[in-house]
Structure 1
Amino acid sequence: MKPRSLMFTLYGEYIQHYGGEIWVGSLIQLMNRFGISESSVRGAILRMVQKNLLEVRKLGNKSYYSVTAQGKRRVDDGVKRVFSASNTSWDGKWRVFSYSFPEEKRELRNEIRKELTWTGFGMISNSIWISPNPLEDQVMAMIHNYQIEENTVLFNTSDVLSHTSEGIIEKAWDLDQVAENYHRFIEEFSPRFEELRERALNNTLQDEECFIERTNIVHEYRKFLFQDPGFPRDLLPDDWIGAKARELFWNIHQLISIPSIRFFESIFEGAPDKEISPNRGRAINPFKEIYI
């Protein structure tokens, strides 16, 4: 796991529900469970602070970290997309985003491409991106955040004359590859789910093990946010394998959530001037349905 990506997972899954702030020592201990050294954690923290994704607060000789407004937007968007099923109807509109950056802003252009991919846009040419989802607010927030109003144009349209909807999807996304990746996810985690369920029935699961398993599967499933655009159901095949992968993910997540949270609470230390309800994290249930 890359330290930055793991930190986003930890903030989205746990830390945001405990005041959104954590002592750096706790963060180091948690990330150490995934083979990430203290120096790597501190290096990642420094880079995220420099990119305005994390901010630090000093109390005595201890440092406490929370996500910035920009970082929180990324965390909230990721949590929403991971735990919300794509079951809405398409409104028939395409959101089209275009940019033009001079060569000296190449790094900024690359950053915008990453943001668009994360948001679910597909590229139909070098500088034109498209999505059927109502992402106007997210894109406008990105434009304002990067101060690129002069370099970008965002509009929506229901008329695309040169291509059918199917043709646009084929041009901008490789859904066959996404489906293949979902298939691999199912092949890897289906046997793991059966093993975890059997051990849960026999009461042989350890809290730390569950924390690692839950964090790992969220981390793996989050990768699909860079691949699957989360189309409305009207634009997906009837037998879309992503639905089966989502159900498997939910089943594992729910099965091991309580012991995972217990372990997190045993390591977590927040700022002493913030009062956190002892039951705050245990009451969290991001699902409307349980598939076990």
Structure 2
Amino acid sequence: MKPRSLIVTLFGDFIQYYGGDIWVGSLIQLMANFGMSESSVRGAILRMVQQELLVAKRIGNKSYYRLTDQGKRRIEEGVRRVYTIKNHKWDGLWRILTYSVPEEKRELRNQLRKELSWTGFGLISNSTWVSPNPLEEQTMEMIRNYQLEEYTTLFTAGSIVSHDQQYLVNKGWNLPAIQAEYDTFIDTYRPKYEQLKERVWNNSLTDQEAFVERTRLVHAYRKFLFQDPGFPQELLPKDWNGTGARELFWNIHQLISPPAVRYFESLFEHSPDTQLIDSRQRAINPFAEFNS
């Protein structure tokens, strides 16, 4: 668990529900639970500020940090995907993005590839990415943000003439490898779930332990954002284990969330001018926002 990645997890799973900013001292104390030193936390914060993902605000002798618009967009999309329970129904359309970015803009081209992969697009040939998901609005926003309008073309298609749908799926994604990762997650967390249930029922799980367990759980599950494209049910294998992994994640998350949130609140301090609205309930059950 790296400092920057842990900061992203904490903002997405806790801080965003409490006004979106946090005193650096609180962040240092929270991250100490995972063996992070103060210097490593401050170094990660500095790099995220330089990359325009975090912005600082100083009030008196204290520094508070919140996400920039760019950082907020990425985390909000990630949180939505982590906490959405049901697979959507496919509308039968493929979204196809092609691009031709000049060599002098190589870094921008590399960033575009990372964004497309993270969003769930699959690469089927050089500079051609596809997705069965309704990502038009999100993709166009990304194109505008990076000012790539003259280098990209986004269109939809309702059928594939030369091959069947499965060919495209196999070409763009390695679903067996994702299945194997889900198997590892299930094998790790299924026995842990039984252990945590017993400790919760026996009232032997401390708030601090619950916070660490929930944060590690979310951190482990969040990696699937970079692997699982979030296909509609019609395009998934019949034995797809992503659904079982998601249910296991939900069960553990809900089991330990109340004490985890209590511990977070015991160390959390926001800036004096931040307004909190239904923070505790939203942090305990973020699934409610995306599955109502």
TM-score tier, shorter chain, comes to over 0.9
Q: So what's the TM-score if we normalise by structure 2?
A: 0.94
> Residue deviations 1:157-204, cap 9 Å, x none?
113222211000000000000001100100011111110001111100
How many aligned residue pairs are there? 288
Amino acid at match of 2:186: I
Residue 10 (structure 2) aligns with: 10
Residue 280 (structure 2) aligns with: 281
Residue 177 (structure 1) aligns with: 177
> Residue deviations 1:207-232, cap 9 Å, x none?
11110100111011010011110001
Residue 269 (structure 1) aligns with: 269
CA contact (8 A) 2:26 2:269 kept: yes
How far residue 283 of structure 1 moved from its aligned partner, in angstroms, is: 4.9
Residue 258 (structure 2) aligns with: 258
Tell me the distance in 1 between the aligned counterparts of 2:180 and 2:42. Answer: 36
Amino acid at match of 1:272: P
Tell me the distance in 2 between the aligned counterparts of 1:258 and 1:175. Answer: 35
Residue 126 (structure 1) aligns with: 126
How far residue 85 of structure 1 moved from its aligned partner, in angstroms, is: 2.3
CA contact (8 A) 2:87 2:230 kept: no
Indicate yes or no: 2:203 matched with 1:196: no
Indicate yes or no: 2:91 matched with 1:91: yes
Residue 209 (structure 1) aligns with: 209
CA contact (8 A) 1:120 1:131 kept: yes
CA contact (8 A) 1:86 1:231 kept: no
**Percent identity between the two aligned chains:** 61
Tell me the distance in 2 between the aligned counterparts of 1:86 and 1:231. Answer: 11
Residue 41 (structure 1) aligns with: 41
Aligned CA RMSD, in angstroms, stands at: 1.5
SS of 1:78's partner is helix
Residue 138 (structure 1) aligns with: 138
Residue 76 (structure 1) aligns with: 76
- Relative distance call for 1:39 and 1:126 in structure 2 (3 A) is farther
Tell me the distance in 2 between the aligned counterparts of 1:120 and 1:167. Answer: 17
CA contact (8 A) 1:261 1:282 kept: no
Structure 1 unaligned residues grouped into runs of 5+: none
